[in-house]
Structure 1
Amino acid sequence: MVIRSRVVAVLPPARRRTLLLTLLCFAVSLAIGLQKWSAVQLGGFDLGIFDQGVRGYAHFGLPTSALKSFHHEFPPGFSLLGDHFSPVLALLAPLYWLWDDPRSLILGQALLFAAGVPLIRRIAARSFAAADARTTRRATDLAGLVYGLGWPLLIAARGGFHEVAFAVPLTLLMLERGQARRYATAAVAAVLLCCTKEDLGLMVGAFGLVLILRARRSHDRRGLAYGLGLLLGGPLAAVAAIRWLIPAMGGQPGYYWNYGELGPDAGSAAAHVLGDPLLLVQAAFGAPLKPLLLLWLVGTTLALPLRSATVLCAAPLIAERILSDNPNHWSIARHYDAFLWPILLTAALEALGRLYADERTRRTSRRLGVAVAGLALAAAVPLGLVGLFTPSQWQPKAGEAALVRAAAQIPDGASVEADNQAAPRLTARTDVVLVDGTPRGREYVLTRSDKRSFPFATDREQAARIDLLLAHGYRQIWAEDGVVLLHRTGTEPVPGVHVPGPDSVPVQDVVPSDVGHNLFRG
């Protein structure tokens, strides 16, 4: 500890502050994720799914996930590359060689988020290049703090893990290298973004447009060439992933088409919009939460990103959400805002830097900068920071604690149907799928009888499932606090048992009726 302190002390002041802010971002993101794990609030959807997938990579195989494929009825041969095209997740496999545990993903996500701190500080320093040294120092320090403790990253950390872990630092790298006119590295980051999630190719294309606009003003031929390449290559990569790569991995091209108000597929939607552009307005403002989402994104940044061309990169991602008819996309209680965070913060810093460079708006720039930082940090307090210092939020409730105790009684290598919250405790040592609306005939079934769990609509459905299984070859071997563990001891067929086969047609979950009415609830 003394040696580490001495190492920090001998670093130049700027690097010392970068290191401290990076460690702060890492510590907070990691603590939030581990808190949710400790309180048994992370489920098979999505932590367990990614755990199974990355474990597949760690064993030099495909990223298969029984939790995902069984519940959504994907045919055999399906891998997570058929869900979202995210081969970049293979880079996390070495973590499993060191620690074969779902919490490796929580650790990995915290490291990736923290990697963005030096990048956002560089962006801030370049944006305030015309300012005096003191102002630049304050701007870079504040940018690092706001980035690391901003509400989008805190909310993403609460979810355990998602592809957004890679999207955040890679987007910052692309923007920062583009700002520095290091276009080759920016292009590499753009390629990796296309390998992070298929729709990020649209964001890469928008970044190409940004480069073109800037290159035309500065007569930068290299910037223009790279911009044209990204403008064309990003959307082409997205189309290729959706139409060919995802189906090749067992997925369906239109599985995530959530734009029924516009048309049944992309082609018909484009034709309908061209014929009646008002359809876009109707889809974008057809639910009260959609304009509230826009107001939140604009209001918490005081509309500063709108003063920078960089905000164009956010347009495809925002359009995906507000045009969607899936209510899960409309709130800020999920990880989706973290995709936008690097873009919005970079655009805000660029706008503030230009305002500061103009003596007439210098005082305004200072006030706006402080206001944006205050809003971002104030929003973070109720959305994650306070909970870290509340001991009760580190402890599971009685039912969740019972799930953990029940899971510990299941032997290694067993085939299991498990409650969503218990599934991540079993992925490392059992063949586990989700307890859902279809019996799977597995050796063990771990579920609840008195509290609704995803994906059931009511707890009565879960109680009925228990009764069905007890009447057809299962016996109860453990029960506590509403949690029931069943073991199959007979050979009597269970009515309705089904295992996805070659002719299975993938299905999506029905969104609960209480989703889509509150901006702060998922």
Structure 2
Amino acid sequence: MAQLVVSQSARESAAAAPAARQQDRIRTVALTVLCFTAVLAVGLQQWATVRIGGFDLGIFDQAVRAYSHFRLPRSPIKNYHHEFPPGFSLLGDHFSPVLALLAPLYWVWDDPRMLIGAQAALFAAGVPIVRRIAAHCFAQAPPATVRRAADLSCLVYGLGWPLLRASGVGFHEVAFAVPLTLLMLERGLARRYGAVLVCAVLLCCTKEDLGLLAAAYGAVLIGRGRRDGDRPAVRTGLTLFVLGPVAALLAIRVLIPAMGGVPGYYWNYSALGPDMGSAALRFLTDPIAAFAVTVDHPEKPVLLLWLLGPLLLLPLGSATLWCAVPLLAERVFSDNPSHWATTHHYDAFLWPVLLVAAVETAARLHRGRPGRPVARWTLGAVACSLLISVVCGLGSLLLPAAWTPSPSERALAEGVRMVPTGATVEADNNAAPRLTRRTRVVIADATPRDAEYVLIQTVRKMFPFTTVDDQRDRVLLLLDNGYTMLWAKDGVVLLHRTDPGRPVPGARVPGDDSVPVKEPEVRS
């Protein structure tokens, strides 16, 4: 009789398994679509209101378009603004050859919004990976708990504030970094170490400093492999730990300069020394003073609280958090105030690590003390994260007014339509992405560029100008030196150069002898 009951129970479980898998697939698809829709909507909302700039959507649009025509990824916006010589390639700015994978998309639709959609799709691709990570971590829990943990993890990831922030400021290499980091961590949990190495290689081709993240994960694998007696994990960890920094140094010291970049161009660590060698010496000889740099401004500890607090410090309970240390160090040791802020895309690089570390900690707490206290802790982290996401952009998606451009923004879009196809243009930063497809456009900045047309606004300060008066002065300078006003509306003006033979004082076009300049580190 007992055997009959056991046999019947086994048959019922076997019959229920396909239904459970089908429910999991439905949940995964639903959450993936939710993530894609949310981050895409945030990006398109910023596009609709003319708030996405040539820095950086226009730059990447010019680069991927060049790839789609089987050329090196050159960007006039980047070249002109930072005074790089004409042969400069974006691979000499950040080593991101993985962006070439997006080129076929431009054969379908040649438009900057294709990058907004591609980034949304890449972020959404992380949802199924997060579900597998939760399943790995909660493998010993009852099926209902596994499903609940997977659902909550996917929800927090897909609607996470770092993804919304990144989507709201255009497109960046982080679009690839997020799913690749998740996949590397998931394959490590599944002990598929060959796939871990493939993901690490792709990360090194996404941005030069991600080799350091791979190296940190190598250290995590070494520790876990030694604890569990997993020799393949130790070997994989050693490979990552050694070759990750080598790949980063190779990109920074060899590949980037070979593509027209300047060694040390992004060295923002003058408090530690003029170069990497002097910074290392500073750490060895005066570590206390070196680490004091990480708290020399209130925004730096606030950054750490912002990253860890919404997850109720759960990431601190997992060794995976060490993977975030190199990227965090880059920011808190930096002199550049934009690296400390949470209004850019930088947090999205850390989001996969923070989320996986939080899930691992929650699973360990559940194993050690299953019950309501742990559940309340985890649900509190979920609620806090989603509340911040609402503030960071989700809430505004439901407000019609948030989709309506201001009068000056509407005027910018109207001015764009008046620029002839094929012209050379200096444009307001937020107008530039709308001109990249059919003109040779650079952003209007402190230096006149002798363009045929200039589209600029004079009522609101726009990057990279420091004051509205500077923008107005530019208009007056051009009107006095060979330009005519074609059109003006709501503080936006379109100028046309009618006297090309008359030189504009201070005008300069980058040439072979140009010396690249860095962006001034001005607080907004």
Measured against the shorter chain, the TM-score band is over 0.9
Deviations 1:415-445 (A, max 9, x none): 1111101000100000001111111101101
Residue of structure 2 in register with 1:45 after alignment: 55
**Superposition deviation, residue 58 in structure 1:** 0.7
Look up the SS of the partner of 1:486 in the other structure: strand
**Superposition deviation, residue 450 in structure 1:** 2.5
Residue of structure 2 in register with 1:304 after alignment: 314
**Superposition deviation, residue 190 in structure 1:** 0.6
Which of 11-20 and 236-245 deviates more?
Answer: 11-20
| 1:164 maps onto 2:174 in alignment | yes
Deviations 1:18-54 (A, max 9, x none): 0000000001011110000000000100100010011
In the aligned structure 1, how far is the partner of 2:459 from the partner of 2:134?
52
Q: In 2, are the aligned partners of 1:150 and 1:377 still within 8 Å (CA)?
A: yes
In the aligned structure 2, how far is the partner of 1:296 from the partner of 1:441?
44
In the aligned structure 2, how far is the partner of 1:384 from the partner of 1:463?
32
In angstroms, what is the RMSD of aligned CA positions?
A: 1.2
Deviations 1:475-502 (A, max 9, x none): 0101001111011111211111111112
Whichever residue aligns with residue 25 of structure 2, its letter is R
Whichever residue aligns with residue 302 of structure 2, its letter is L
Aligned mate of 1:429, from 394, 417, 438: 438
Stretches of structure 1 that go unaligned for 5 or more consecutive residues are: 1-8, 516-522
Please list, as runs of the form range in 1=range in 2, the aligned pairs for 1:280-319 lying within 5 A after superposition.
280-319=290-329
Aligned mate of 1:95, from 101, 105, 123: 105
Aligned mate of 2:289, from 251, 256, 279: 279
In the aligned structure 1, how far is the partner of 2:482 from the partner of 2:358?
62
Whichever residue aligns with residue 246 of structure 2, its letter is L
Q: In 1, are the aligned partners of 2:282 and 2:290 still within 8 Å (CA)?
A: no
Look up the SS of the partner of 1:314 in the other structure: helix
Whichever residue aligns with residue 63 of structure 2, its letter is G
| 1:411 maps onto 2:420 in alignment | yes
Whichever residue aligns with residue 94 of structure 1, its letter is P
**Superposition deviation, residue 90 in structure 1:** 0.6
Please list, as runs of the form range in 1=range in 2, the aligned pairs for 1:22-101 lying within 5 A after superposition.
22-101=32-111
Residue of structure 1 in register with 2:401 after alignment: 392
Aligned mate of 2:278, from 268, 282, 300: 268
Residue of structure 2 in register with 1:233 after alignment: 243
In the aligned structure 1, how far is the partner of 2:56 from the partner of 2:304?
26
In the aligned structure 1, how far is the partner of 2:278 from the partner of 2:80?
31
Aligned mate of 1:205, from 215, 239, 244: 215
> Identity over aligned residues, as a percent?
60
Whichever residue aligns with residue 410 of structure 1, its letter is V
Look up the SS of the partner of 1:166 in the other structure: helix
In the aligned structure 1, how far is the partner of 2:308 from the partner of 2:480?
56
| 1:142 maps onto 2:152 in alignment | yes
Which of 168-177 and 294-303 deviates more?
Answer: 294-303
Which of 100-109 and 458-467 deviates more?
Answer: 458-467
Deviations 1:447-473 (A, max 9, x none): 112221111111111111111111111
- Give the ranges of 4+ consecutive aligned residues of structure 1 lying more than 4 Å apart after TM superposition: none
Question: When the two structures are superposed, what TM-score results if normalisation uses the length of structure 1?
Answer: 0.95
Q: In 2, are the aligned partners of 1:355 and 1:362 still within 8 Å (CA)?
A: no
Residue of structure 1 in register with 2:460 after alignment: 451
Residue of structure 1 in register with 2:476 after alignment: 467
Whichever residue aligns with residue 494 of structure 2, its letter is L
- CA 1:38/1:317 → structure 2, altered by over 3 Å: closer, same or farther? same
Stretches of structure 2 that go unaligned for 5 or more consecutive residues are: 1-18
Deviations 1:269-297 (A, max 9, x none): 11122110012222100001101111222
In the aligned structure 1, how far is the partner of 2:32 from the partner of 2:457?
41
Deviations 1:160-204 (A, max 9, x none): 211100000000000000110001111111100000010111000
Look up the SS of the partner of 1:476 in the other structure: strand
Larger radius of gyration: 2
Residue of structure 2 in register with 1:342 after alignment: 352
| 1:487 maps onto 2:517 in alignment | no
Whichever residue aligns with residue 416 of structure 2, its letter is A
**Superposition deviation, residue 361 in structure 1:** 5.2
Work out the number of aligned pairs and report it: 505
Deviations 1:199-242 (A, max 9, x none): 11100000011110111011111111111100011111000000
Aligned mate of 2:507, from 466, 474, 497: 497
